[in-house]
Amino acid sequence: MEVVRNRWLTKNAWAAVLVLVGALPIAGFESGAPREPEREQEVNASGIARKGAFRLEGLRIREAALKRQLAALAPTGSYIIVDTARNRLYVRRRAEVLVTAVASTGSGTILDSPDRPGARWVFDTPRGEFMIQSKFMNPVWVKPDWAFLEEGLEVPADPAQRVEAGMLGDYALGFGNGFFIHGTLYTRLLGKNVTHGCVRLNDEDLRSVYRLADIGTPLMIF
């Protein structure tokens, strides 16, 4: 029993020593070289402080310049933003919001091609930055292959059979790869993800967007 007690005490003593050694730096005790005279330290400290302030000022100037450079990259005129998650379209000029519209965007559904195994259409509104490439009044819809296949119809050989008037509203603004901002007959579906990738608006909002956007107007979709 005496042996056990001695061992226990020895271990506790070692633990106490370890705790003390560990606590020294926390308590602010330092070992090493003796301290320099206070005056010398003050001189050094003021030098470092001056250098620090100088560097800080330099970084602040650089930050302001970079912010100006970044702000210069923003569109100078009107630009369009489409939020596909919430189905909203905004036309902005700088920070000012000129139009807020409820839109319909891509449904995210898929359609497999019956002719080409493995090939499929994904009806998403493309995301990224685009620009308005074309503007039309009274546009007609030239139905793509998927519009027929989705209905279970054969794709016509005659291009004239693809044309359908009155489906896209009074205006259409193209932004590449067959995608458009256009009107709709199904206004009750505005605010939902129902389209094949185009952005649909009601007549009034479409007119405002058509008026404010020119060819080259940036379009940001997320």
What residues line the site for other proteins (CB under 8 A)? Answer: 1, 4-5, 8, 11, 52, 55-56, 59-60, 62-63, 66-67, 69-71, 73-75, 79, 81, 83-86, 92, 107-112, 121-123, 127-131, 146, 150-152, 186, 188-189, 192-194, 196, 218, 220-222
Nearest to 186 by CA among 206, 201, 198: 201
- Minimum separation from the CB atom of position 129 to other proteins (A): 4
Strand partners, 195: 106
Comparing CB distances to other proteins, the nearer of 113 and 134 is 113
**Measured between alpha carbons, how far is 137 from 210 in angstroms, rounded to an integer?**
9
Q: Name the minimum Å distance from CB 37 to other proteins.
A: 28
C-beta of 161: minimal distance to other proteins in Å? 18
Q: How far apart are CA 59 and CA 54, in angstroms?
A: 9
Task: State the Cα–Cα distance between residues 34 and 26, nearest whole angstrom.
Answer: 19
CA distance 218 to 222: 13
What is the gyration radius of the CA atoms in the chain, in angstroms?
Answer: 34
Residue with Cβ nearer other proteins (43 or 59): 59
**Pick 20 or 65: Cβ nearer other proteins:** 65
Q: Measured from the CB of residue 141, what is the shortest distance to other proteins in angstroms? A: 15
By C-beta, is 207 or 212 nearer to other proteins? Answer: 212
- Give the integer Cα–Cα distance in Å for 103 and 111: 23
Q: Are 208 and 99 in contact (CB under 8 A)?
A: yes
C-beta of 124 vs 207, nearer to other proteins: 124
Please report, for residues 31, 51, 88, 104, 214, the alpha-carbon distance to residue 173 in angstroms, rounded to integers and kept in the order given.
75, 57, 16, 15, 9
CB of 2 to other proteins, least distance (A): 8
Q: How far is the CB of 138 from other proteins (least distance, A)?
A: 23
